[in-house]
C-alpha cells in the first residue's frame, strides 16, 4: 500500500539509483505520449498530464511511488514555471491593455474572492480556510485558456484580448497573495505589531532581491551575451532562476516567489525574448513532471466515493466564476456573446492554485488530506474548460435563437440613409481604410465593440456605432440597408461569419468585403454571402509576386491581370490546388504577353541626331518604339524620321528576348546604319 504523502514531503529513505531512473524514464515516457496524443487532438497537454498523473500515481494503479527525487524535479519544474510566468509578464503590458480590462481583472479578483470566502464561511469553514479558498479560486488557468484561444486563432479577437488582460492581472496578483498568505499563517499575524513586522520583513526581502537583480543582472547578461556562447547563456539563466529562488528562501520568502521576481526583473531587459527561447525546453519538460506529480495527488478513491461532493463543488466553482466574469464583461463591454466567451475561458481554477496550496501546506495552514481535496476540485474544473470554450459560440447562438428578446430597431439617422461605406472593426485595417475614405470624401460609418477603439474612431471624427455587429439591430443602426459596401475587418472568425450572414439577410444586394487572416475561411465566407474575401496569409505573397514582376519589367496591366486571376480562383495556385484548364490557358496567355522597357538617350550617346528609321530596331531586334518622352511630354506613335535628342526617353515594347537585344543595340558604342 502506497503512503498518502505530498510529493514535496521529505523521504529519508535512500532510493536506489536504478529505481529512480526507472521512475524518471516512465514519467518522461508518459509525458511525451500525452503531449503527442493531446497535440493531435488539439487539446492542452496540461489536462493530459493531470489525468495521467492521477492514473499512474499512488492513488491510481500505483506505477509511480512518490519519491523525494521526483519531488525535487517537480520543485525545479515549479520554479521554472513561475520564472517563465514572470518573464512573460510585464507591467508595460498593463498600460497597453487599457483601464477597462485592468478594471475588469481587479473587479473579478475581488468579487470572486469575496464570494468564495463568504460561501466557505457560511458553510462552517474556518476563516483561514475561507481565505485560502478565496486566494486559490480567483486565478484562472492561463495555460489552458490562452492555449485554446491561440489554437482557435482568437487571441486578437475582443474576448481573446480580454482573457489575456484579466489573466495578466491575475498572474500579477500572485506575489502579493503569497505574501499575504505568509502573513496570515504567522501566529501573531492578527496583531498590528505582527502585521507590521511581517510586512517590513517581506518588503525588505523583496527590495534586496529586486535591487540586486536590477544592479547585477543587466551587467552579467551583457557580459554573457558578449561571449556568444549559447551554453554559457543558458547555464547563466538557469543559475539566475534557481539562485534567486534560493536567495528568496533565505530571506524568508518562498522559492516560488523568488523565481517569479527573477522573471519579472529580466522581463524588463532587452534579453527577455532570448531568455524565454532558451528556458522553454527546460520549462516544458520539467513542468510536465510538475503537473504529473500534481495529478498524483488527486485522491481517486475519495473522488469516486464522494463523487457528488467533488462534482458539485467543481460545478459550483465553474458556474460561479463564469457568472462573475460574465456580469463584469457584460456591463463593461455590452456584449453577451463576448461576455460568455470570456466567462467560460476564465471559469476554471489555475495552475497557480497549486503554488498557493503548496505554500499554505508548507506554512501549516492545511494538512495533506485537505490539500488533496483542493487539488482534486481544481483538476475537475480544468478538465472541461477546452470543451466549454469550443462550445461557447454555438451555445450563445442557441441562446439568442431560443431566449434572447428581439429588440426594436432604432430609427435610422438621416445621414445613414444616404449611400455610404460600413466598416466593421476599427483595428489597423479598418483605421487605414477610414483614413483613405476621409481623404477622398466618401462617407462611412464605423461599427466597433471595443470601447478603446470606438473612442479612437470618434477622436478621428468618424461616425461610430458602438455595439456588437453580430446583432442585426446594431447593423441597422449603421445603415447597412443603404450602404454601398460593407467591409468586415475584425479578427474573430466566428463573429465574422455571423456578421456576413446578418448583413446578407438585411441587405441582399450590398457588396461585402471581408478581411480574414486565414485562407481556409474563404469558402465558408463566400458561401455565407461575402462578395470578396481577402486573406492576409496570401495577400502578402501576392504583393511580393507583383513586385518581382515589376522588377522583371512586366507592364502594370499585365501584372494586374495576373493578380486578378489569382484572386478570382480563390488563391488556388498559392494553396497548392490544381487550377482549371481554362484558367491555365488564361495564365499562359498573360505570361506570353509582351512587356515594355524604357531607354534614356544620354548627352554623349551616338544616337543623338539619328532618326528612328536609322535605328532599324524593329527589323534587327523585333522590338518597337511606341513613344518618345521629351521634356516630360509623350510623343506617341512617333514618325520614323523623328530625330532623337539628348534627354529623350524611348518607350519600347516587345518580348523579354526582343527587349534585351534592343537594349544591347541601343547601349552599344555604335550601330549599323
Residues 106, 206, single domain; the answer is yes
Same domain membership, residue 261 and residue 375: yes
Per-residue model confidence (pLDDT) at position 146 = 75
* pLDDT of 46 over the 80 cut: no
322 with 213, same domain?
yes
Question: Considering 591, 613, 634, which residue would you say is the last residue of a domain?
Answer: 591
- Which of 20-24, 118-122, 369-373: highest mean pLDDT? 118-122
Which pLDDT band, with edges at 50, 70 and 90, does 318 fall under?
very high
Q: Write down the pLDDT at residue 347.
A: 92
Torsion of the alpha carbons at 628, 632, 633 and 634, rounded to the nearest 10: 30
Mean pLDDT of 57-65: 76
The pLDDT value recorded for residue 587 is 47
Mean pLDDT of 79-108: 74
- Which range among 22-26, 45-49, 187-191, 480-484 shows the weakest confidence by mean pLDDT? 187-191
pLDDT at 672 over 60: no
pLDDT of residue 447: 93
- Res 320: pLDDT: 93
Predicted local confidence at residue 187, as pLDDT:
59
Q: Are residues 256 and 109 in the same domain?
A: yes
387 and 434, same domain (yes or no): no
**Most confident region among 13-17, 230-234, 306-310 by mean pLDDT:** 306-310
If you write DSSP's letter for every residue of 67-107 in order, what string do you get? -HHHHHHHHHHHHHHHHHHHHH--HHHHHHH-HHHHHHHHH
- Highest mean pLDDT of the ranges 99-113, 292-306, 595-609: 99-113
3-state secondary structure of 573: coil
pLDDT at 342 over 80: yes
Does position 426 have pLDDT exceeding 60, yes or no?
A: yes
pLDDT over 70 at 163, yes or no: yes
Contact residues for 201 (Cβ-Cβ < 8 A; gap 6+):
252
Domain boundary among 530, 550, 581: 530
Q: Which residue has the cell 428578446?
A: 405
pTM: 0.68
pLDDT score of 544 more than 60: yes
Comparing 440 with 459, the larger pLDDT belongs to 459
Phi and psi at residue 407, in whole multiples of 5°?
-75, 150
* Same domain? 323 vs 207: yes
pLDDT band at 43 (very low <50, low <70, confident <90, very high): confident
Residue 653 lies in a domain: yes
Q: Is residue 6 domain-resident?
A: no
Is there a domain that residue 378 lies in?
A: yes
- The percentage of the chain sitting over the pLDDT mark of 70, rounded to a whole number, equals 74
Q: Pick the closest to residue 617 from 646, 645, 651, 647 (CA basis).
A: 651
Domain region containing 511: 415-530
HEC assignment per residue over 302-315? HHHHCHHHHHHHHH
Per-residue confidence (pLDDT) for residue 109, from 0 to 100: 92
- The predicted pLDDT at position 440 comes to 79
Give tens-digit pLDDT for 585-600: 554 554 455 567 778 8
Contacts of 671 (CB under 8 A, 6+ apart): 606, 607, 615, 665
pLDDT value at position 11? 45
Residues whose CB falls within 8 Å of the CB of residue 52, separated by 6 or more in sequence, listed in order: 30, 31, 34, 292, 295
Q: What is the CATH number of the domain that holds 639?
A: 3.30.70.1450
Q: What does each C-alpha distance from 336 to 315, 397, 544, 560 come to in angstroms?
A: 21, 11, 41, 44
Rounded to the nearest 10°, the torsion over CA 159, 344, 393, 522 is: 50
Label the pairing between strands 532-535 and 633-636.
unpaired
Q: Check whether residue 553 and residue 601 sit in a common domain.
A: no
Residue 403 lies in a domain: no
Give the CATH number, domain containing residue 317: 1.20.1530.20
The answer to whether 170 and 105 have CB atoms below 8 angstroms apart is yes
Instruction: Tell me what pLDDT residue 446 has.
Output: 94
User: pLDDT (tens digit, 9 = 90+) per residue, 441-455?
Assistant: 889 999 998 888 888
In a domain, 501, yes or no: yes
Per residue in 647-656, pLDDT tens?
888 888 887 7
Confidence band for 12, pLDDT divided at 50, 70 and 90: very low
Q: Both 98 and 175 in a single domain?
A: yes
Mean pLDDT of the chain: 77
pLDDT for position 312: 92
Predicted pLDDT of residue 501: 92
Assess if residue 402 is contained within a domain: no
Nearest-angstrom CA–CA distance, 429 and 490:
9
Question: Percent of the chain scored above 90 by pLDDT?
Answer: 12
Q: Confidence class of residue 401 from pLDDT cuts 50, 70 and 90?
A: confident
User: Would the pLDDT of 607 be above 60?
Assistant: yes
State residue 252's pLDDT score.
Answer: 60
Tens-digit pLDDT profile for residues 475-531? 998 999 889 999 999 888 888 999 999 999 999 989 999 988 777 788 888 889 998
Q: Is the pLDDT of residue 66 over 70?
A: no
Quote the pLDDT of residue 418.
67
Q: What is the CATH number of the domain that holds 423?
A: 3.40.50.720
- In whole angstroms, give the CA distance from residue 385 to residue 477: 36
Is 672 a domain residue? no
Residue 95 lies in a domain: yes
Among 482, 511, 530, identify where a domain stops.
Answer: 530
Residues 321 and 212 in one domain: yes
Return d(Cα 467, Cα 443) in angstroms, integer: 20
Q: What is the mean pLDDT of residues 547-566?
A: 66
At residue 211, does pLDDT exceed 90? no
The pLDDT of residue 144 is above 90: no
What does the pLDDT read at residue 499? 93
Based on the domain organization, do 526 and 577 belong to the same domain? Answer: no
- How many domains does the structure of the chain reveal? 4
Q: Are 250 and 326 contained in the same domain?
A: yes
Residue 345: closest CA among 85, 176, 495, 158: 158
Look up cell 435563437; give the residue. Answer: 401
Same domain, residue pair 505 and 547: no
Amino acid at each position: 500500500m502506497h503512503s498518502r504523502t505530498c510529493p514535496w514531503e521529505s523521504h529519508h529513505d535512500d532510493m536506489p539509483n536504478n529505481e529512480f531512473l526507472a521512475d524518471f524514464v516512465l514519467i518522461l515516457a508518459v509525458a511525451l505520449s500525452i503531449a503527442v496524443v493531446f497535440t493531435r487532438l488539439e487539446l492542452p497537454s496540461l489536462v493530459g498530464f493531470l489525468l495521467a498523473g492521477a492514473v499512474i500515481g499512488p492513488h491510481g494503479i500505483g506505477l509511480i511511488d512518490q519519491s523525494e527525487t521526483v519531488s525535487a524535479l517537480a520543485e525545479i519544474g515549479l520554479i521554472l514555471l513561475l520564472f517563465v510566468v514572470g518573464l512573460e509578464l510585464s507591467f508595460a503590458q498593463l498600460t497597453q491593455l487599457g483601464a477597462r480590462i485592468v478594471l475588469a481583472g481587479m473587479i473579478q479578483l475581488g468579487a470572486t474572492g469575496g464570494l468564495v470566502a463568504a460561501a466557505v464561511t457560511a458553510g462552517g469553514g474556518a476563516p483561514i480556510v475561507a481565505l485560502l479558498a478565496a486566494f486559490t479560486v480567483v486565478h484562472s488557468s492561463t495555460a489552458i485558456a490562452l492555449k485554446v484561444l491561440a489554437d482557435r486563432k482568437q487571441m486578437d479577437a475582443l474576448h481573446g484580448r480580454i482573457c489575456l488582460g484579466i489573466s495578466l492581472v491575475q498572474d500579477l496578483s500572485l506575489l502579493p497573495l503569497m505574501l499575504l498568505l505568509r502573513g496570515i499563517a504567522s501566529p501573531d499575524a492578527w496583531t498590528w505589531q505582527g502585521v507590521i513586522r511581517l510586512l517590513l520583513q517581506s518588503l525588505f526581502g523583496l527590495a534586496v532581491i529586486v535591487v540586486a537583480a536590477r544592479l547585477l543582472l543587466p551587467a552579467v547578461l551583457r557580459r554573457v551575451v558578449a561571449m556568444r556562447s549559447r551554453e554559457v547563456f543558458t547555464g547563466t539563466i538557469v543559475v539566475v532562476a534557481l539562485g534567486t529562488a534560493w536567495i528568496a528562501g533565505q530571506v524568508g520568502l518562498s522559492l516560488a516567489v523568488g523565481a517569479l521576481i527573477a522573471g519579472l526583473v529580466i522581463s524588463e531587459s532587452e534579453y527577455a525574448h532570448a531568455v524565454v527561447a532558451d528556458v522553454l525546453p527546460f520549462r516544458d519538460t520539467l513542468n510536465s513532471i510538475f503537473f504529473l506529480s500534481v495529478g498524483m495527488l488527486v485522491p481517486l478513491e475519495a473522488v469516486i466515493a464522494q463523487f457528488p461532493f467533488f462534482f458539485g463543488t467543481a460545478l459550483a466553482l465553474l458556474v460561479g466564476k463564469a457568472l462573475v466574469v460574465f456580469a463584469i464583461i457584460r456591463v463593461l463591454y455590452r456584449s453577451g456573446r463576448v461576455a460568455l466567451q470570456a466567462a467560460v475561458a476564465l471559469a476554471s481554477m489555475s495552475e497557480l492554485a497549486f503554488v498557493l496550496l503548496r505554500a499554505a501546506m508548507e506554512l501549516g495552514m492545511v494538512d495533506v488530506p485537505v490539500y488533496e481535496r483542493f487539488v482534486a476540485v481544481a483538476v475537475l474544473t480544468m478538465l472541461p474548460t477546452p470543451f466549454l470554450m469550443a462550445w461557447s459560440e454555438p451555445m450563445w447562438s442557441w441562446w439568442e435563437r431560443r431566449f434572447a428578446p428581439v429588440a426594436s430597431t432604432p430609427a435610422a439617422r438621416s445621414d445613414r440613409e444616404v449611400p455610404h461605406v460600413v466598416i466593421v472593426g476599427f483595428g489597423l485595417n479598418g483605421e487605414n481604410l477610414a483614413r483613405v475614405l476621409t481623404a477622398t470624401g466618401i462617407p462611412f460609418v464605423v461599427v466597433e465593440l471595443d470601447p478603446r477603439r470606438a473612442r479612437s474612431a470618434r477622436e478621428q471624427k468618424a461616425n461610430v456605432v458602438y455595439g456588437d455587429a453580430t446583432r442585426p439591430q446594431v447593423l441597422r443602426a449603421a445603415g447597412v440597408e443603404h450602404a454601398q459596401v460593407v467591409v468586415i475587418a475584425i479578427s474573430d472568425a466566428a463573429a465574422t461569419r455571423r456578421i456576413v450572414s446578418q448583413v446578407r439577410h438585411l441587405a441582399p444586394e450590398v457588396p461585402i468585403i471581408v478581411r480574414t487572416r486565414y485562407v481556409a475561411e474563404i469558402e465558408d465566407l463566400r458561401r455565407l454571402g461575402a462578395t470578396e474575401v481577402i486573406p492576409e496569409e496570401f495577400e502578402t505573397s501576392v504583393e511580393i509576386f507583383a513586385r518581382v514582376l515589376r522588377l522583371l519589367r512586366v507592364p502594370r496591366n499585365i501584372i494586374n491581370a495576373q493578380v486578378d486571376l489569382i484572386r478570382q480562383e480563390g488563391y488556388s495556385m498559392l494553396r497548392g490546388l490544381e487550377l482549371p484548364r481554362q484558367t491555365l490557358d488564361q495564365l499562359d496567355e498573360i505570361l506570353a504577353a509582351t512587356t515594355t522597357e524604357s531607354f534614356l538617350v544620354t548627352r554623349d550617346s551616338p544616337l543623338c541626331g539619328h532618326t528612328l528609321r536609322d535605328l532599324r530596331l524593329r527589323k534587327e531586334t523585333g522590338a518597337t518604339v511606341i513613344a518618345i518622352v521629351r521634356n516630360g511630354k509623350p510623343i506617341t506613335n512617333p514618325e520614323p524620321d523623328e530625330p532623337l535628342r539628348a534627354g529623350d526617353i524611348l518607350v519600347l515594347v516587345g518580348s523579354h528576348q526582343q527587349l534585351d537585344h534592343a537594349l544591347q543595340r541601343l547601349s552599344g558604342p555604335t550601330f549599323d546604319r
